[in-house]
Amino acid sequence: METWIKHALDTMYTDFAPGLGPDQFDAYDLQGWLSPEPPPGIVTPRSLRRQANAPDMLETDHFLLNLGPSHPAMHGALRMLVELDGEMVMSSEAHVGFLHRGIEKLAEHRRYNTIGTLMDRGDYATGIMGEWALARAVENLGEIEVPERAEWIRTVVAEVNRMASHYLWLGPLGLDSGAMGPFLFMMRDREACLETLEAVTGSRMMFNYVRPGGVVFDWNKEGNDKLLAYLEKADQYLDEHWEALIGSELFHQRVIGVGIVPHEMALSFAATGFIARASGIDWDLRRDRPYGYYDKLDFDVLTLDGEDIWARTLVRFDEMKQSIRMLKQLVEMGPPPGEHIAKLPKVLRLPEGEAYGSVEGARGELGVHLYSTGGDTPYRMRYRPPIQFHLAIADTVAPGQWLADALLSYGSFDFCFGEVDR
Amino acid sequence: MALDKLTGDTSMLFIKSEQFFDWARARSLWYLAFGIACCSLEGLIAASGPRFDFDRHGVFFRGVPRQADVLITAGTVNYKMAEIVTRLYEQMPDPKWVISMGACSNTGGPFREYPNVFLGVDELVPVDIYIPGCPPRPESVQYAFLELREKIYAQTGERLEARRING
């Protein structure tokens, strides 16, 4: 049963060619390169014909390459269509929607304390962040007071989850740049983070732990012990990663000066999180609009002007160090006494109106905008994923790079397609 | 193998040779590294990591469908992705198996109310093993591979049964 008649790498595979407006077509001017006769109706964009102005003076054609959604170098269900001149990327176009499953629409039919399950599956690498953003939106709208103890627990699990997500980014970045070993070590450390989360929340990935008004389970001794055991080793682990991957000269040669996101582009594309901070925008929600327990913690935010993958790596590596610093402070403070969840009715009804709640997720500002008409479900929920904005940047910065560098720069944005397609 | 072209697929020679090849196949099940959604973190990435280490069962990831034996459908399959899943399955060489991982892939899971989502990947490709869970733990995926191995071993018995009836 062979249904696939064309080859994906074929120049004639123009089903998804970029910019196929009717004025860009030139139907029968193809005899020079197509043999023996062009079948009627097959057209190629004008931009695919290369001019003989390259140094080699060859009149070769541009090449359309479909990267993904099943491609070893693509992270997640993304189809990136690139146009190549030799090995140079001329244009790049992202095709999304391979994971669209209606999270925003389904949320309109769920009660407020069950939307967290959908938020988990949206931002699946850092479930706590999505749940927390939703909880903050609901608490802003309903003016719900959150107990101190709940804020402490939320901050701890969020930072542990941020560590787990950063490991999941740095390891595959090493894979993309040709380093297999560091990936295995980072998976080891990620398991330590997930063990802590499992002991506290009961699940490795889909927590459904942070609910409006607090958290589901109280802080327990097993989670505390696992967190302490991890924190004992964490600094040593980070030094190992520095020696194995980030401090390596081979890695420097791959990432320095590659995937440059200029400061103006980061501003105009609404970049947040580590992309913004690596392009000179000094902005971190944890410091600038404090929530949770962050106003009681002492931490630094690293902002660099490097604008390349190397700057992003340094910013994220520093975030990991700061997370460990924060976790150590939090453990030293200990959980404040009191309840871990506010007293709320079983069916939560919010007043009419709208509210926005956001957290500094692992990849940028993760926000939820709720519009309520007074029922037990939202009238509309808008999920603001940071990666959707960064995907537009990744599209824009790829042209002009070698294909291998473009793949590395796609990887450096840390795509998570549950968020983009929703 | 081409032996069945010579001797017929109910010959004892063919059945015994297939038994040998099944023994080899069951010990090197290479899965396609095709992550669709959340399950790929557990079933593909954590699985190849040091804690669970699927490599010791001969289970290893491949980036290309032409080199893969097992397709793990790790995530929600919607109408846009359905074409890709079918195409990847067709590109894999025989013999091939499919493991449906997670609630979304089995039945649509938490998203089955949304009209864009397939109510189970078995509408598209023949599924051998279903793993429940959302997401299943890596241990569950390991168990699925062990079950798949048993299923491959059982093929000899099925061939002998077919020989007894038809041969």
- Residues from chain B that touch A121, judged by Cβ atoms under 8 A, are 37-38, 110-111
For range A277-299, the mean pLDDT: 89
Mark whether A306 and A370 lie in a shared domain: yes
Are A72 and B65 in contact (CB < 8 Å)? no
Token readout for A300 is: 């630094």
- Residues from chain B that touch A125, judged by Cβ atoms under 8 A, are 41
User: Class of B29-137 per CATH?
Assistant: alpha beta
Closest residue on chain B to A106 (Cα) = B114
The Cα–Cα gap between B7 and A322 comes to: 69
Residue where the block lists tokens 């109910």: B10
Are B87 and A97 in contact (CB < 8 Å)? no
- The domain of A90 spans 22-95
Mark whether A153 and A56 lie in a shared domain: no
- Residues from chain A that touch B78, judged by Cβ atoms under 8 A, are 98-101
Mark whether A78 and A131 lie in a shared domain: no
B6 or A342, which is more confident? A342
Query: Can you give the residue ranges of every domain in chain B?
Result: 29-137
User: What pLDDT, in 10s, does the model give residues A350-404?
Assistant: 889 999 999 998 888 999 999 998 888 899 899 998 988 888 888 888 888 888 8
Mark whether A86 and A176 lie in a shared domain: no
User: What pLDDT, in 10s, does the model give residues B21-31?
Assistant: 889 888 888 99
Question: Residue A11 falls within a domain, yes or no?
Answer: no
Q: Which of A79, A95, A111 is the last residue of a domain?
A: A95
Q: Which of A52, A68, A95 is the last residue of a domain?
A: A95
Mark whether A127 and A239 lie in a shared domain: yes
Question: Residue A190 falls within a domain, yes or no?
Answer: yes
- Determine the residue among A3, A15, A70, A421 to mutate to test chain B binding: the one whose Cβ has the most chain B Cβ atoms within 10 Å: A70
Mark whether A35 and A118 lie in a shared domain: no
Q: Give A343 to chain B, closest Cα distance, Å.
A: 28
Q: Give A297 to chain B, closest Cα distance, Å.
A: 31
Total domains, chain A: 2
DSSP conformational letter for A60: P
For range A265-271, the mean pLDDT: 88
Closest residue on chain B to A121 (Cα) = B38
Question: Residue A236 falls within a domain, yes or no?
Answer: yes
Question: Residue A15 falls within a domain, yes or no?
Answer: no
Mark whether A200 and A317 lie in a shared domain: yes
Question: Residue A410 falls within a domain, yes or no?
Answer: yes
- Confirm if B114 and A105 have CB atoms less than 8 A apart: yes
Question: Residue A14 falls within a domain, yes or no?
Answer: no
- Residues from chain B that touch A190, judged by Cβ atoms under 8 A, are 46, 49
Mark whether A199 and A58 lie in a shared domain: no
Mark whether A294 and A185 lie in a shared domain: yes
One-letter amino acid of B37 = A
Question: Residue A4 falls within a domain, yes or no?
Answer: no
pLDDT at B130 over 90: yes
ipTM of the complex: 0.85
Are B41 and A4 in contact (CB < 8 Å)? no
Q: Which of A41, A68, A95 is the last residue of a domain?
A: A95
Q: Residue A117 — φ and ψ, nearest 5°?
A: -60, -40
Mark whether A64 and A113 lie in a shared domain: no
Token readout for A420 is: 């983009």
Question: Residue A265 falls within a domain, yes or no?
Answer: yes
Mark whether A252 and A121 lie in a shared domain: yes
Token readout for A324 is: 């460990």
Mark whether A244 and A303 lie in a shared domain: yes
